[in-house]
Amino acid sequence: MTSDVKNQKFSTLFDWFDQDHDGQLTEGDLRATAKVFAQVARDEDHTNVHAIHTAFEQWWQLLLQHADTNRDGQVSRQEFITTMEASVTTPQHFESAVMAIADAVMNAADTDTDGVLSRDEYIRLYEALGVAPEHSGPAFAILDLDGDGVISHDEYRTAIVDFYLSDDPEAPGNYLLGPINQPT
């Protein structure tokens, strides 16, 4: 059973992916989300743009296979939350569905190609993804685990793992999308 913390995070993620705001996820929603993510890439960065789209397609295929029980091409919020815990975040699928997107997005957002995200690159990334700078700025400081003023690839991957896998409401990765409101 999904914990309250994960339930809230996956619900927030559902809202983020539901691009047409109709309360159902469809292939079109995930394609539109991939386009939003891909917009942070440099114009010539075809490799990471392709990787983002491919990984979102992989994620959609997992949702169809494991969540779309009535085969109508739509996934409800509850189906999404249940499937995130039962399938997408399992070791068998997590790397290809979630971490592939994280890696491609990190590389795409690293506009000066120095292998790390500066504060400006991080804020630009999350602003493009719809997270306000008043949330992404403080999140940057939390995710910069070694305090060196940049977010390394390992620190970014750690944040993604925290967001998707941690039940700890104080896990640093929970700040990726802005505040996660926990039930009291």
pLDDT tens per residue across span 43-53:
899 999 999 99
> pTM of this prediction?
0.89
pLDDT range class, residue 14, cuts 50, 70, 90? very high
Angle subtended by helix axes 4-17 and 27-38, to nearest 10:
80
CA distance 122 to 131: 11
The residues spanned by each domain of the chain are: 4-175
Each residue of 134-172: pLDDT tens digit? 999 999 999 999 999 999 999 999 999 999 999 998 899
CA distance 11 to 182: 11
Each residue of 98-139: pLDDT tens digit? 999 999 999 999 999 999 999 999 999 999 888 899 999 999
Structural fold of domain 4-175: Recoverin; domain 1 (1.10.238)
Hey, which residues does 24 pair with through a beta bridge? 76
Each residue of 57-101: pLDDT tens digit? 999 999 999 999 889 999 999 999 999 988 888 888 899 889 999
- Of 147, 149, 146, 134, which is closest to residue 179 (Cα–Cα)? 134
